Amino acid sequence: MKRNYLLAIASMFVITACSTTSGTSPVIGYSGFDKAKIVSIAPHGNACKEMICTALGAEWNQSKPDQALLIVMVVNEITGITGASLSIDGEKIVLIPTQQVTDFSSPLPELRQSAKAFIVPLALIERITTAKRVWLRVSTPTGYYEDAIIDGEDSKAYNALKRFMLSVKQNS
């Protein structure tokens, strides 16, 4: 039974790996605190070449319209995320974490992931969606992981961030 379950998951990844434009849509909600509109999109994979991979998601709150949270994730590994940086068309940008603690989760026993939120100007996410070459480097206690968001070919994360920005513009 468990083997069939793992095969089904592996098949799902193979089927969806062919398209970088597939993925979840942004979710629109409201803050119970101040009724501000919130737009979020779950992390989607970058253009990964290895089993351990980086992913990006985002969240925007209408109460701080010029800021967003960029959710940086390492998939298939439980590790502390000590930092992250972007290279956007050659410009290196160090991201500022919202907290020191990394969030570890395992939605399925076979799937391990680590995530941390970083405060960024909303304009930075817009730059990612219009750039020709963007790489993400995620630092950990034992080294770093880096993957392209877009570099000759796009990724699920790139297209997810484009959907996110479109939703933010429609809801601001």
Q: What is the pLDDT of residue 112?
A: 83
Q: How many helices (H) and strands (E) does the chain have?
A: 3, 11
pLDDT for residue 42 = 95
- Residue 8 has a pLDDT of 36
* Residue 110: predicted pLDDT: 65
Torsional class of 3: left (φ above 0), alpha (ψ -120 to 50), beta (otherwise)? alpha
pLDDT at residue 100 in the model: 72
CA distance 171 to 64: 13
Helices 122-130/156-171 angle, 10° precision: 130
Are 120 and 68 within 8 A, CB to CB?
A: yes
Provide the pLDDT for residue 159. Answer: 97
The structure's pTM equals 0.83
Task: Give the residues of the chain that fall short of pLDDT 50.
Answer: 1-17
Which helix (H) or strand (E) is 130 found in, with range?
helix 122-130
Residue in this structure with the two tokens 């601001």, named with its chain if needed: 172
Cα distance between residue 169 and residue 34, in whole Å: 20
Instruction: Judge whether 121 and 135 are in contact, CB under 8 Å.
Output: no
With 0-12 / 13-18 / 19 or more C-beta atoms within 10 angstroms meaning exposed / middle / buried, residue 80 is: middle
